[in-house]
């Protein structure tokens, strides 16, 4: 569980509440950001939070205020202003829904600088700030069935609230993000060039991937049969905040990849990140598996808010989503490993390879459990 110390108090010095890895006096980033966002500069601390693979996410905190600040990865998001525009449009839409009593979750909001900008260039990077949602925690591995159902239900509420959002307004911040055919092309290219001389380390994984190419055609066959919807596109369990007191869902976060897509993407990403009892990079592959009861909870939780609008074809497509999303992220990790780790943040040389193998183990278990998982989907069709 990722708890963030968030009790704001004026009686205890902040440095005693949070063991800052960046003490204020030696940290010009904290000083600069706190000035830009209008915080007290004296007692400010800056501490990394979360386990994201792309941006650098930190808590900037004084006695009275807390902000989540992120250094955006501009290799992955070359147009950060478009990220902010997308997120603010979604914020606005969700706020209107909230005012009409149609959306109950907290809304993640950008915070402007004192000059009314949303981006700050500093330290060879681009930073933004988000309102800190206190009294919350996130998870990297789902702990209980009810937690899975709660989170899936919240992602379902989010999808429902965005259902009438004009998704064409959104910039395609990462074009072809969930285009499996393009992901295969990128994979084949990197295997061919072998820029980091790593192909020999993972030939059997490469062969395994090439053998899954039929998934591309299965996805193509769905074109025109299911609607394009505004999607979150990163429904990892750690992109959900839970309430510390009640364990209810509190907020859907990390809206950076909201773009038009298929609901099967969001469904599949939940299965991929909720169902395994192991972390995404665990090397304990014997225990990487789909917990069927968690799968059932996701189906139940996600479909419930969408029941009036979801089509039968979409519900049917969730089986393909389960396979495609789990396989595709494995393929992306392996591609990045062979490429020399240029995309995902890694902690050691084989990190991406370990993540890929973990996801392929999960994917294999999904295939092995096809009958059971399809039966669970079938029960929830009616």
Binding site for ligand GN1 (CB under 6 A): 52-54, 76, 234, 236, 239, 254, 257, 280, 329
The DSSP 8-state label assigned to residue 298 in this structure reads H
Residue closer to Mg ion, measured from CB, 31 or 141: 141
Nearest to residue 150, comparing CAs of 6, 292, 305?
305
User: Within 10 Å of residue 350's Cβ, how many Cβ atoms?
Assistant: 17
Give the interface segment with ligand ADP, choosing from 126-134, 165-173, 332-340, 352-360 (CB under 6 A): 126-134
| Contact status, residue 212 vs residue 238, Cβ threshold 8 Å | no
* One character per residue 185-224, x = contact with ligand ADP (rule: CB under 6 A): ----------------------------------------
| Contact status, residue 44 vs residue 31, Cβ threshold 8 Å | yes
| Contact status, residue 10 vs residue 64, Cβ threshold 8 Å | yes
- The rounded distance, in Å, linking the Cα atoms of 261 and 178 is 8
Give the interface segment with ligand ADP, choosing from 54-62, 164-172, 263-271, 329-337 (CB under 6 A): 54-62
Residue closer to Mg ion, measured from CB, 52 or 330: 52
Residue closer to ligand GN1, measured from CB, 53 or 71: 53
Exactly one of 90, 94, 130, 151 binds ligand ADP (CB under 6 A); that residue is 130
Residue closer to ligand ADP, measured from CB, 63 or 106: 106
Q: Give ∠ CA 210-214-215 in degrees, rounded to 5.
A: 100
Number of residues that bind ligand ADP (CB under 6 A): 21
CB of 189: closest distance to ligand ADP in angstroms? Answer: 26
Exactly one of 14, 33, 39, 52 binds ligand ADP (CB under 6 A); that residue is 52
| Contact status, residue 37 vs residue 67, Cβ threshold 8 Å | yes
Exactly one of 20, 34, 45, 55 binds ligand ADP (CB under 6 A); that residue is 55
| Contact status, residue 273 vs residue 237, Cβ threshold 8 Å | yes
Exactly one of 20, 62, 86, 138 binds ligand ADP (CB under 6 A); that residue is 138
- The rounded distance, in Å, linking the Cα atoms of 222 and 320 is 10
The footprint of Mg ion on residues 228-247 (CB under 5 A) is 239
* Encoded tokens for 106: 């907290």
CB of 253: closest distance to ligand ADP in angstroms? Answer: 5
- Count how many residues are written for the chain: 382
CB of 111: closest distance to ligand ADP in angstroms? Answer: 10
Exactly one of 253, 298, 325, 353 binds ligand ADP (CB under 6 A); that residue is 253
Contacts of residue 316, Cβ cutoff 8 Å, sequence gap at least 6: 377, 381
Exactly one of 49, 89, 201, 285 binds ligand ADP (CB under 6 A); that residue is 49
If one asks whether residue 330 binds Mg ion (CB under 5 A), the answer comes out as no
The footprint of Mg ion on residues 146-205 (CB under 5 A) is none
User: Within 10 Å of residue 298's Cβ, how many Cβ atoms?
Assistant: 28
* Cα–Cα distance list, 169 to 87, 90, 345 (Å): 11, 10, 30
* One character per residue 290-329, x = contact with ligand ADP (rule: CB under 6 A): ----------------------------------------
Residue closer to ligand GN1, measured from CB, 36 or 255: 255
Q: Is 188 exposed, middle or buried (0-12, 13-18, 19+ CB in 10 A)?
A: middle
Task: For 236-269, give one letter per residue: b (16+ CB within 10 A) or e.
Answer: bbbbbbbbeeeeebbbbbbbbbbbebbbbbbbbb
* One character per residue 33-72, x = contact with Mg ion (rule: CB under 5 A): -------------------x--------------------
The DSSP 8-state label assigned to residue 239 in this structure reads G
**Interacting residue ranges for ligand ADP, rule: CB under 6 A:** 2, 4, 49-50, 52, 54-55, 57, 68, 108, 130-133, 136, 138, 238-239, 241, 253-254
Interacting residues toward Mg ion by CB under 5 A: 52, 239, 254
């Amino acid at each position: 569980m990722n708890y963030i110390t968030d009790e704001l108090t004026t009686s205890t010095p902040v440095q005693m509440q949070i063991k800052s890895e960046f003490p204020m006096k030696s940290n010009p980033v904290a000083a600069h950001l706190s000035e830009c966002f209008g915080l007290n500069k004296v007692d400010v601390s800056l501490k990394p939070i979360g386990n994201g693979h792309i941006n650098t996410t930190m808590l900037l905190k004084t006695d009275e205020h807390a902000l989540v600040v992120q250094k955006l990865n501009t290799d992955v998001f070359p147009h950060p202003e478009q990220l902010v525009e997308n997120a603010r449009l979604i914020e606005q839409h969700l706020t209107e829904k909230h005012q009409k009593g149609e959306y109950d979750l907290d809304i993640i909001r950008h915070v402007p600088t004192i000059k009314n900008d949303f981006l700050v260039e500093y330290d060879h990077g681009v930073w933004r700030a988000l309102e800190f949602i206190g009294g919350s925690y996130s998870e990297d591995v789902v702990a209980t069935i009810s937690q899975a159902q709660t989170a899936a239900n919240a992602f379902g509420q989010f999808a429902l609230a965005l259902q009438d959002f004009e998704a064409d307004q959104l910039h395609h911040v990462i074009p072809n993000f969930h285009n499996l055919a393009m992901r295969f092309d990128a994979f084949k290219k990197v295997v061919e060039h072998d820029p980091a001389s790593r192909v020999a380390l993972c030939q059997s994984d490469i062969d395994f991937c090439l053998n899954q190419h039929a998934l591309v055609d299965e996805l193509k066959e769905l074109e025109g049969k299911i609607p394009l919807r505004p999607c979150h596109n990163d429904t990892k369990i750690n992109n959900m905040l839970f309430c510390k007191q009640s364990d209810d869902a509190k907020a859907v976060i990390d809206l950076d990849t909201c773009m038009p897509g298929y609901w099967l993407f969001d469904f599949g990403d939940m299965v991929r990140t909720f169902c395994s009892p192991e972390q995404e990079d665990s090397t304990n592959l014997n225990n990487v598996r789909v917990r069927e009861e968690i799968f059932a909870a996701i189906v139940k939780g996600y479909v419930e808010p969408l029941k009036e609008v979801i089509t039968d074809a979409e519900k049917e497509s969730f089986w393909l989503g389960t396979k495609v999303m789990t396989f595709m992220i494995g393929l992306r990790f392996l591609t990045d490993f062979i490429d020399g780790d240029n995309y995902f943040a890694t902690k050691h040389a084989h990190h991406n390879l370990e993540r890929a193998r973990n996801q392929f183990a999960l994917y294999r278990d999904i295939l092995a459990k096809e009958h059971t998982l399809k039966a669970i989907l079938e029960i929830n069709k009616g």
